[in-house]
Amino acid sequence: GGRVAEELAYGAEEVTTGASSDLQRVADVARRMVTQWGFATEALGSTAWESPMGSGFNSPKMASEATQERIDMAVEAIVRNAYESCKKTLTDNRALLDRLTDLLVERETVGNDELMQLVREYAAAPIKADSH
Residue 132's pLDDT is 47
Give the torsion through C-alpha atoms of 11, 14, 18, 22, to 10 deg: 30
In order, the DSSP letters of 14-31 are G--HHHHHHHHHHHHHHH
pLDDT tops 90 at residue 77: yes
pLDDT band for position 55 (50/70/90)?
low
Could you report the per-residue pLDDT of 20-47, keeping only the tens digit for each? 678 888 999 999 999 988 888 888 877 7
Which residues on neighbouring strands pair with residue 51, listed in sequence order?
54
Q: What is the DSSP letter of 69?
A: H
Contact in structure between 99 and 107 (CB atoms under 8 Å): no
Q: With contact defined as beta carbons under 8 Å apart, do 87 and 2 qualify?
A: no
Q: What is the residue-averaged pLDDT of the chain?
A: 83
d(CA 102, CA 118): 12
Q: pLDDT digit string (tens) for 92-122? A: 999 999 999 899 889 989 999 999 999 998 8
Give the Å distances, CA to CA, from 66 to 24, 29, 59, 72: 24, 21, 18, 10
What pLDDT is attached to residue 56?
Answer: 56
